Structure 1
Amino acid sequence: MNKFYFALFSCTLLTSSAWAQYDNNPGSNHGNRFEQLGTMISTPNEYRSASGAPGPKYWQQKADYEINATLNDDKQRLDGNETITYTNNSPDPLTYLWLQLDENEHKKDAESAKFDESKMQSKMTIRQLQGIIGHDLDLGNHIVSVKDANGTTLNYTINQTMMRIELPVTLQPGQKFRFKINWWYNISDRLTIGGRGGYEYFPEDGNYLYTMTQWYPRMAVYSDFQGWQNKQFTGRGEFALTFGDFKVSMNVPADHIVGGTGQCSNYAQTLTAAQLKRWNAAQSATSPQEIVTLDEVKQTMKNHATARKTWTFHAENVRDFAWVSSRRIVWDAMSTQIDGGKKVMAMSYYGPEAYPLYRKYSTKVVAHTLKTYSKHTFPYPYPVAISVEASNGMEYPMICFNYGRAEKDGTYSEATKNGMIGVIIHEVGHNFFPMIVNSDERQWTWMDEGLNTFCQYMAEQEWDSRYPSQRGPAYKIVDYMKMPKDQLEPIMTNSENIVMFGPNAYSKPATALNILRETVMGRELFDYAFKTYAHRWAFKHPTPADFFRTMEDASAVDLDWFWRGWFFGTEPVDVSIDSVKYYRLNTKNPAVEGTADRAQYDRNLENISTTRNKEGGTRFAVEADTSLQDFYSKWDRFAATPATTQSYQAMYNAASPAEKKLYDSKNYFYEVSFSNKGGLVTPLIIEWTYADGTKEVEKISAYIWRKNENKITKVFAKTKEVKGIKLDPYRETADIDESNNSWPREYQPSRFELFKQQSLPRGVTAGPNPMQQAQKSQ
Structure 2
Amino acid sequence: MKAHFKLFTLSSLLLLSSAVFGQKEAYNNNKFKQLDEELPTPNAFRTGSGAPGHKYWQQKADYTIEALLDEEKHQLHGIETITYTNNSPDNIKYLWVQLDQNMRATNSNTYKIRQNKIKEQANASYFNRIDGFPDYDGGHKILEVKNADGTDLPYTINQTMMRVDLPKDLKSGESYTFKVKWFYNINDRSLMGGRGGYETFKDGNTLYTITQWFPRMAVYDDVNGWQNKQFLGRGEFALTFGDYDVKITVPDDHIVASTGVLQDSSVLSETQRERLEQAKTSEKPVEIVTKKEAIKNEKKKGKGTKMWHYKAENVRDFAFGSSRKFIWDAMGVEQNGKTVMAMSYYPKDAYNLYNRYSTEAIAHTIEVYSRMTFDYPYPVAISVEANNGMEYPMICFNYGRQDKDGNYSKRIKYGMLSVVIHEVGHNYFPMIVNSDERQWTWMDEGLNSFLQFVAEQEWEKNYPSMEGFPDNIIEYMEGDPDGISPIMTNSESIKQFGWNAYAKPSVALNILRETVMGRELFDYAFKEYAQRWKFKHPTPADFFRTMEDASGMDLDWFWRGWFYTTEACDISIKEVKALSLDTQNPEVEMNLAKQQEADKKPSITEINNEKAGLVTRVDKKPELKDFYNSYDKYEVTEEDKMKYEKYTSSLNDKDKEWIAANKFAYQVDFENIGGLVMPIIIELKYKDGTTEKRYIPAEIWKKDDVVVSKVFVTDQEVVSFFLDPNRETADIDTSNNHFPRIKPVNRFQLYKSKK
Matched, 1:70 2:68: yes
Q: Answer yes or no: is the 8 Å Cα contact 1:62–1:244 preserved in 2.
A: yes
| More relative contact order, 1 or 2 (CA 8 Å, 6+ apart) | 1
Q: Which amino acid aligns with 1:139?
A: G
Q: Quick one: distance in 1 between partners of 2:305 and 2:276? A: 21
**Could you tell me which residue of structure 1 aligns to residue 571 of structure 2?**
575
Q: Secondary structure at the match of 2:574?
A: strand
Over the aligned positions, Cα root-mean-square deviation in angstroms equals: 2.2
TM superposition shift of 1:500: 0.5
Q: Answer yes or no: is the 8 Å Cα contact 2:487–2:564 preserved in 1.
A: yes
Q: Quick one: distance in 2 between partners of 1:457 and 1:207? A: 36
**Could you tell me which residue of structure 1 aligns to residue 106 of structure 2?**
108
TM superposition shift of 1:712: 1.3
**Could you tell me which residue of structure 1 aligns to residue 320 of structure 2?**
323
Q: Quick one: distance in 2 between partners of 1:616 and 1:128? A: 85
Q: Secondary structure at the match of 1:696?
A: strand
**Could you tell me which residue of structure 2 aligns to residue 354 of structure 1?**
350
- Over 3 Å counting, the alpha-carbon distance change for 1:487 and 1:427 in structure 2 is same
1:206-605 to structure 2, matched below 5 A, reads: 206-267=204-265, 269-338=266-335, 340-602=336-598
Identity of aligned residues (%): 54
**Could you tell me which residue of structure 2 aligns to residue 692 of structure 1?**
688
Q: Which amino acid aligns with 1:337?
A: E
Q: Quick one: distance in 2 between partners of 1:684 and 1:30? A: 24
TM superposition shift of 1:193: 1.5
Counterpart of 2:94 (choices 93, 96, 116) is 96
1:761-776 to structure 2, matched below 5 A, reads: none
**Could you tell me which residue of structure 1 aligns to residue 656 of structure 2?**
660
Q: Quick one: distance in 2 between partners of 1:296 and 1:719? A: 74
- Over 3 Å counting, the alpha-carbon distance change for 1:463 and 1:25 in structure 2 is farther
**Unaligned residue ranges in structure 1 (runs of 5+):** 1-22, 757-778
**Could you tell me which residue of structure 2 aligns to residue 199 of structure 1?**
198
Q: Answer yes or no: is the 8 Å Cα contact 1:98–1:165 preserved in 2.
A: yes
1:701-754 CA distances to partner (integer Å, 9 max, x unpaired)?
111111111111222212211111111111111111111111111132244447
Q: Quick one: distance in 2 between partners of 1:242 and 1:739? A: 51
Q: Answer yes or no: is the 8 Å Cα contact 1:130–1:193 preserved in 2.
A: no
Q: Quick one: distance in 1 between partners of 2:616 and 2:154? A: 113
| Segment of structure 1 superposing worse, 116-125 or 373-382 | 116-125
Q: Quick one: distance in 1 between partners of 2:273 and 2:22? A: 67
TM superposition shift of 1:599: 2.9
Q: Secondary structure at the match of 2:411?
A: helix
**Could you tell me which residue of structure 2 aligns to residue 155 of structure 1?**
154
Q: Answer yes or no: is the 8 Å Cα contact 1:24–1:32 preserved in 2.
A: no
- Over 3 Å counting, the alpha-carbon distance change for 1:124 and 1:514 in structure 2 is farther
Q: Which amino acid aligns with 2:324?
A: R
Q: Quick one: distance in 2 between partners of 1:433 and 1:124? A: 41
TM superposition shift of 1:564: 0.9
- Over 3 Å counting, the alpha-carbon distance change for 1:24 and 1:314 in structure 2 is farther
Q: Which amino acid aligns with 2:237?
A: F
Q: Answer yes or no: is the 8 Å Cα contact 2:27–2:33 preserved in 1.
A: no
TM superposition shift of 1:656: 0.8
Q: Quick one: distance in 1 between partners of 2:183 and 2:96? A: 19
TM superposition shift of 1:612: 4.2
Q: Which amino acid aligns with 1:222?
A: Y
Q: Secondary structure at the match of 2:58?
A: coil
Matched, 1:734 2:720: no
Q: Quick one: distance in 1 between partners of 2:566 and 2:24? A: 17
Q: Answer yes or no: is the 8 Å Cα contact 1:30–1:709 preserved in 2.
A: no
**Could you tell me which residue of structure 2 aligns to residue 714 of structure 1?**
710
TM superposition shift of 1:341: 3.0
TM superposition shift of 1:68: 0.7
Q: Answer yes or no: is the 8 Å Cα contact 1:189–1:200 preserved in 2.
A: yes
TM superposition shift of 1:692: 1.4
Q: Answer yes or no: is the 8 Å Cα contact 1:31–1:706 preserved in 2.
A: no
- Over 3 Å counting, the alpha-carbon distance change for 1:530 and 1:253 in structure 2 is same
Q: Quick one: distance in 2 between partners of 1:175 and 1:299? A: 52
Q: Quick one: distance in 1 between partners of 2:372 and 2:22? A: 36
Q: Quick one: distance in 2 between partners of 1:48 and 1:725? A: 47
Q: Quick one: distance in 2 between partners of 1:751 and 1:422? A: 34
Q: Secondary structure at the match of 1:192?
A: helix
Q: Quick one: distance in 2 between partners of 1:591 and 1:215? A: 90
TM superposition shift of 1:590: 2.5
Q: Answer yes or no: is the 8 Å Cα contact 1:127–1:192 preserved in 2.
A: no
Q: Which amino acid aligns with 2:728?
A: E
TM superposition shift of 1:630: 7.1
Q: Quick one: distance in 1 between partners of 2:623 and 2:269? A: 121
Q: Answer yes or no: is the 8 Å Cα contact 2:686–2:718 preserved in 1.
A: yes
1:535-587 CA distances to partner (integer Å, 9 max, x unpaired)?
00000000011011111111110011111111111111111111111111011
Q: Quick one: distance in 2 between partners of 1:689 and 1:191? A: 57
- Over 3 Å counting, the alpha-carbon distance change for 1:122 and 1:732 in structure 2 is farther
TM superposition shift of 1:119: 3.2
TM superposition shift of 1:636: 3.2
**Could you tell me which residue of structure 1 aligns to residue 3 of structure 2?**
none
Q: Which amino acid aligns with 2:515?
A: T
**Could you tell me which residue of structure 1 aligns to residue 677 of structure 2?**
681
Q: Answer yes or no: is the 8 Å Cα contact 2:260–2:380 preserved in 1.
A: yes
Q: Secondary structure at the match of 1:301?
A: helix
- Say how many residue pairs are matched: 731
TM superposition shift of 1:221: 0.3
**Could you tell me which residue of structure 1 aligns to residue 35 of structure 2?**
37
Q: Quick one: distance in 2 between partners of 1:663 and 1:130? A: 84
1:443-481 CA distances to partner (integer Å, 9 max, x unpaired)?
011100111111111111111121111111112111111
Q: Answer yes or no: is the 8 Å Cα contact 1:382–1:398 preserved in 2.
A: yes
Q: Secondary structure at the match of 2:192?
A: coil
Q: Secondary structure at the match of 2:544?
A: helix
Q: Answer yes or no: is the 8 Å Cα contact 2:373–2:531 preserved in 1.
A: yes
Q: Answer yes or no: is the 8 Å Cα contact 1:31–1:707 preserved in 2.
A: no
Q: Answer yes or no: is the 8 Å Cα contact 1:143–1:181 preserved in 2.
A: yes
Q: Answer yes or no: is the 8 Å Cα contact 2:111–2:131 preserved in 1.
A: no
**Could you tell me which residue of structure 2 aligns to residue 186 of structure 1?**
185
**Unaligned residue ranges in structure 2 (runs of 5+):** 1-20
Q: Quick one: distance in 2 between partners of 1:487 and 1:559? A: 27
Q: Quick one: distance in 1 between partners of 2:673 and 2:221? A: 42
- Over 3 Å counting, the alpha-carbon distance change for 1:30 and 1:164 in structure 2 is closer
TM-score, normalised via structure 2 length: 0.93
- Over 3 Å counting, the alpha-carbon distance change for 1:473 and 1:121 in structure 2 is farther
1:282-327 CA distances to partner (integer Å, 9 max, x unpaired)?
0111111111111111111011100111111111000000000000
Q: Which amino acid aligns with 1:574?
A: D
Q: Answer yes or no: is the 8 Å Cα contact 1:130–1:192 preserved in 2.
A: no
1:646-673 CA distances to partner (integer Å, 9 max, x unpaired)?
5434532441122212211212221111
Q: Quick one: distance in 1 between partners of 2:272 and 2:565? A: 55
